[in-house]
Amino acid sequence: MLNEIINRLPDGRAEKDLARYLRTLSEDEIVLLVESLLRHDSAIIRGTILKLIPKIISSHHVLIKFLDIGLAKKNESKIKFWINATSSGLGYKRLLQHLLKVAETNPDWIVYAWYQLVPIIKKEAPDQVDKLQKIKDIIDNNLCDELKDFWQRNQNAVPL
């Protein structure tokens, strides 16, 4: 049944059927299946799953796990999809609190997300822009030398 639904994607009805199917599973089963589908060869299937995450997962712990998966990919152009998939369930305040921690442990993840992150926060949560400044300060202090030029270019491209 699942393969039949997946083969019909990106059809809107198939997307609804997939969401309905996923809601019948336990949270652990959902997480395993979503992780598996996020590794699928098809960008259509990966994109569909990212769109479904806010509809099928409510656990903050799980949403943060998926956010970290997206950040770890270090893909500047795709990170906005991961942020959008998780921010509605986490809220921007919690998302930025997590990114403050990430900036200390994995500043390179934030460097790659910065270009997309700043405009999203400015538009969707302008009251949280001060947290971006804190994240920026942490990265300035913790970033390895080989990424500093790239970091500076990102900051110049999307100033706070």
Confidence of residue 19 (pLDDT cuts 50, 70, 90): very high
Confidence of residue 1 (pLDDT cuts 50, 70, 90): confident
Q: What is the pLDDT of residue 133?
A: 97
Calculate ∠ Cα 107-111-117, nearest 5°.
115
Contacts of 51 (CB under 8 A, 6+ apart): 15, 85
Report pLDDT digits (tens) over 77-98. 999 999 999 999 999 999 999 9
Task: Identify the CA nearest to 75 among candidates 35, 104, 46.
Answer: 46
- pLDDT higher than 90, residue 33: yes
Q: What is the pLDDT of residue 38?
A: 93
Residue 26 CA: distances (Å) to CA of 12, 30, 57, 134, 159 = 24, 6, 11, 37, 43
Q: What is the mean pLDDT of residues 22-45?
A: 93
Q: What is the pLDDT of residue 127?
A: 97
Distance of CA 129 to the CA centre of its chain: 18
Whether the Cβ atoms of residue 79 and residue 116 lie closer than 8 Å to each other: yes
Q: What is the mean pLDDT of residues 64-80?
A: 96
Measured distance CA(2)–CA(147) in Å, rounded:
42
Measured distance CA(18)–CA(48) in Å, rounded:
9
Measured distance CA(111)–CA(30) in Å, rounded:
30
- pLDDT higher than 90, residue 32: yes
- pLDDT higher than 90, residue 109: yes
Q: What is the pLDDT of residue 69?
A: 96
Whether the Cβ atoms of residue 130 and residue 91 lie closer than 8 Å to each other: no
Whether the Cβ atoms of residue 158 and residue 114 lie closer than 8 Å to each other: yes
Whether the Cβ atoms of residue 86 and residue 51 lie closer than 8 Å to each other: no
Per-residue 3-state assignment (H helix, E strand, C coil) for 60-100: HHHHHHHHHHHHHCCCCCCHHHHHHHHHHHHCHHHHHHHHH
